[in-house]
Amino acid sequence: MKGVLLAGGTGSRLYPLTRITNKHLLPIFDRPMIAWAIEALVNAGIDEIMLVTGGTHAGEFLRLLGNGHAFGIDRLSYGYQENAGGIAEALGLAERFADGEPVLVMLADNVMERSIKPMVDAFRAEPQGARILLTPVEEAEHLRHLGVPVLSTDGRVERIEEKPEVPASHFGVTGIYCYDADVFRIIPTLTPSGRGELEITDVNNHYVDRGEMAFDVLEGFWGDAGESIDAYYTVNDFVRANGANRS
C-alpha cells in the first residue's frame, strides 16, 4: 500500500498565520504539522508516499523534506495541484504514483493520539473497496462542519452526509481513507459540487452504493489542526502534553 498526503488548500481558516506559509508547515508542538502526518503513515508501515500540495509555498516542502529519508520515507514523490479543485481532484494526481496499488489517503492537518496502523492492517488484509476512519463527536455543532455517516441498525454505512444540519449519528469522518485502485476510475466520473470542486464525500458514497465501504472508529484524541485558530491551538496543547501517533 502506498500513501498519499494531501497538503494543499489556501489555509484561509488559519489566516493570518498562513499569510506567508502553507498551513501544513506551521508548528505543532516541536515540529512542522506535516511531520506528524508523515510519522502516522511511516508508523503504519507505509514508506512510499506522495505529497500533493499547491499554491505559492509548494517549494517549501521540498526544502523541508528533501527525499524524505530523514523522516523514514523510502520513496517520496511530489504532486502539484494548480487550482483549488477539491480533495478528490488532488487525489487523482496520484494515479501514476499508485500504479495500480491501493492507497492510504490522509489530509495532512489530521492529528491523532493513537496510531492508524490497525486501520491500515485491516485494509491490507482485505484490500477491496474503501475503508474510512470515524471519530466520536458529541457536539452537534462540530458535526455540522464534518462528513457524518448514516449507520444502519446492523452497523453498515448507508451513506455519508456532508455538513448536515441534523447529524444522523455521533461520528465524524476524519480525513483518513483507504481505497483500492478503482478510486482512480471513480474520480473522473464525478460532477463538481456547488463550490466547483470534486468532493471526497462523493467518492466515499460511490463505494457505499456499491456495498464496498468499511470503517474503523479511532480511539483517543483526534483534531483537525486546520479547522480554525481555536482548533489549531487545541491540537498544539494536546500534542505538547500527550504526544501523537502512539501505539
Calpha distance 229→26 (Å, rounded):
12
pLDDT at residue 86, as a whole number? 92
Calpha distance 121→234 (Å, rounded):
29
Does residue 247 lie within any of the structural domains?
no
Half-sphere exposure of 126 (CA within 13 A, CB side): 10
- The stretches of the chain forming alpha helices (DSSP H) are 33-43, 59-65, 87-92, 95-98, 117-125, 140-143, 183-186, 200-209, 229-242
Calpha distance 98→87 (Å, rounded):
16
Closest to 245 measured CA to CA, from 42, 75, 27, 1? 42
Does residue 174 lie within any of the structural domains?
yes
In sequence order, the 6+-apart residues with CB closer than 8 A to the CB of 130 are 177, 178, 179, 180, 183, 203, 204, 207, 212, 213, 214
pLDDT at residue 39, as a whole number? 98
Does residue 83 lie within any of the structural domains?
yes
| Number of domain units in the chain | 1
Does residue 138 lie within any of the structural domains?
yes
Can the peptide bond before residue 164 be classed as cis, meaning omega within 30 degrees of 0? no
Does residue 45 lie within any of the structural domains?
yes
Q: Kindly report the CATH number assigned to the domain that includes residue 124.
A: 3.90.550.10
Tell me how far CA of residue 191 lies from CA of 120, 197, 198, in angstroms.
29, 8, 7
Does residue 116 lie within any of the structural domains?
yes
The domain in which residue 86 lies consists of 2-242
pLDDT in tens, the chain (247 residues): 999 999 988 788 999 999 999 999 999 999 999 999 999 999 999 999 999 999 888 999 999 999 999 999 999 999 999 988 899 999 999 999 999 999 999 999 999 999 999 999 999 999 999 999 999 998 889 999 899 999 999 889 999 999 999 999 999 999 999 999 999 999 999 999 988 899 999 999 999 999 999 999 999 999 999 999 999 999 999 999 999 999 9
Closest to 157 measured CA to CA, from 177, 139, 183? 177
Calpha distance 47→51 (Å, rounded):
12
Does residue 42 lie within any of the structural domains?
yes
Q: What is the pTM of this model?
A: 0.95
Calpha distance 197→190 (Å, rounded):
10
Q: Phi/psi of residue 224, each to 5°? A: -100, 100
